[in-house]
Amino acid sequence: MAGGHVMAVGPIRHYEGRTTVYVALACILAASGGLIFGYDIGISGGVTAMDDFLTKFFPTVERNKNRVSSSDSDYCKYNNQGLQAFTSSLYLAALVASFFASFTTRLLGRKITMLIAGLSFLCGATLNAAAQDLAMLILGRILLGVGVGFANQAVPLYLSEMAPAKLRGGLNIMFQLAITIGILCANLINYGTNKATPWGWRLSLGLAAVPAIFLTLGGLICPETPNSLIERGHLEKGRAILVKIRGTENVTAEYEDMLEASEIANQVKHPFRNILQRRNRPQVVMALLIPFFQQFTGINAIMFYAPVLFSTIGFGKNASLYSAVITGAVNVVATLVSLASVDKWGRRILFLEGGIQMFVSQVLIAIILAVKFGGDKTLSKGEATGVVILVCVYVAAFAWSWGPLGWLVPSEIFPLETRSAGQAITVSTNMLFTFVVAQAFLTILCHFKYGIFLFFAGWVVIMTVFTSLFLPETKGVPIEEMIHVWRQHWFWKKIVPSAEEMGIKPPTVVNGGDVEKPKQVS
């Protein structure tokens, strides 16, 4: 079959309502949870390039950094397992925390989970700013990781459930926009604190408390989602919130779908066991492969270590931080492009265009470094500028495709009864491979040299082919009606049981074209 595109036809209902100021403000505040993740991604690479930080915690790296280069050492001067552990320990903690967060989002709600994330991040930021030794530094990173795990579990779900279907993509992408703003802010802060010796790195790490405060406020102020309230038995309150966020009293169709989804969800006592059923097979595949592919675009390797990477290929200390600021700004602007276009053009076209653009830019970067850098060769000013431009082209492609869509698509495809478990799989897979990339990147860079970009380009080819063939379009489909998308897909319809097989009567058309809600066969 040629591809995976399907039209949203058949028994998919569309709900009434509009985007209210109330839901927009709630989503903005909740999306600030992405600031936590983004700030950490950006701050780590800048701090690990600061001499004062390296002298205190990683003196071996500091000596290697300032040593006269040999033919192999240009790519290897930052290769240190302890330094990589500083960056990657957060993501290992986030992986474990995401499973606990799955239970809190289901049993306590999305709002409480965001509050836990904010408080944990506050504690971690305080420890890191005051760190006196490596153990204290790593402990702070672990607490930050717990915050990231809980935030990444709750915030995408919160945004997908609060947003009206026609704008779900754009509002959910606010999470990724917050991540990119966090990265840019971190790069700007690193550029400034790099000159504040010997305590600049403490300020960089301590300012992580600022996004944590925003998320904590979100956990206190934002309303709970109607889906979560109904799932936990608060029916009247759930309907009242639904009326408020949709701006209309006519929410009967959406409310009935939530009630039905809640009834099914409450019958499921073991969501992780239920998620393995055949009807959930395509969602599980996406929850595993999309975050895996997202990390193997190579983006976090570049964002974690952007100053280190630019320093490695010959930029001065301040120039490398400045270049990281430029890529961070491109990241923000390109995410705005995705936010504006995802509900107009759909998910698939952004995935496919972004994949092609990332592949081309990575191959060109590898060619320039292979021919012009290493050993006795250094990049000229023009060549170095070309590398920065190509990195920006690559970052832009990621920022309007795999960056936001890697969080959006998994958060919108699961039914209510397995939504928390599905998001836990997404977050834990993302954190596992973020950990792997963060822990291994500097070592791989040392051995692969310019080939690191070809390595990631190869993965980009694989993921682009995968999305072309196996990912259906989910634009505009109500979140509780998503099952029909899989039943209409050329491949997944062979796996997902039909409504008749599941004991559900087929829908009937009434009132001149409206679809009557399917009923469970007794």
- Residue type at 233 in one-letter notation: G
Distances from the Cα of 218 to the Cα of 25, 33, 116, 154, 292, angstroms: 10, 8, 11, 12, 29
The pair of three-digit structure tokens given for residue 53, joined into one six-digit string:
């930080």
DSSP per position, 24-53 = HHHHHHHHTHHHHHHHHHHHHHHHTT-HHH
pLDDT score for 130: 93
pLDDT score for 78: 65
Distances from the Cα of 319 to the Cα of 308, 385, 516, angstroms: 11, 11, 62
- Strands 509-510 and 514-515, bridge-based pairing: antiparallel
Spatial CA neighbour of 263 closest among 223, 233, 302: 233
pLDDT score for 164: 83
Q: At which residue do the structure tokens 């209902």 appear?
A: 13
Which residues face 514 on adjacent strands? Answer: 510
pLDDT score for 521: 39
Rounded Cα–Cα distance for residues 477 and 459 (Å): 29
pLDDT score for 134: 87
Rounded Cα–Cα distance for residues 309 and 449 (Å): 11
pLDDT score for 324: 75
pLDDT score for 313: 57
Q: At which residue do the structure tokens 């010997």 appear?
A: 198
Spatial CA neighbour of 478 closest among 3, 8, 67: 8
Rounded Cα–Cα distance for residues 437 and 27 (Å): 30
Distances from the Cα of 165 to the Cα of 234, 330, 341, 470, 519, angstroms: 23, 28, 15, 22, 23
pLDDT < 70 stretches in the chain: 1-14, 17, 65-75, 77-79, 300-301, 303-321, 374-376, 502-522
Rounded Cα–Cα distance for residues 159 and 153 (Å): 11
- Exposure of 272 by Cβ count < 10 A (0-12 exposed, 13-18 middle, 19+ buried)? middle
Taking CB atoms within 8 Å and a gap of at least 24, the contacts of 128-137 are: 128/205, 128/206, 128/208, 129/202, 129/203, 129/205, 129/206, 129/209, 130/202, 130/206, 131/57, 131/202, 131/205, 133/57, 134/57, 134/82, 134/86, 137/57, 137/86
pLDDT score for 238: 92
pLDDT (tens digit per residue) in 127-153: 999 999 888 999 999 999 999 999 988
Question: Which DSSP category does 278 fall into?
Answer: G
Q: At what angle do helices 281-295 and 451-470 cross, to 10 degrees?
A: 160
Q: Alpha helix (H) ranges present in 108-167? A: 110-129, 134-162
Q: Alpha helix (H) ranges present in 373-400? A: 381-399
- Exposure of 342 by Cβ count < 10 A (0-12 exposed, 13-18 middle, 19+ buried)? buried
pLDDT (tens digit per residue) in 382-411: 887 888 889 899 999 999 999 999 989 998
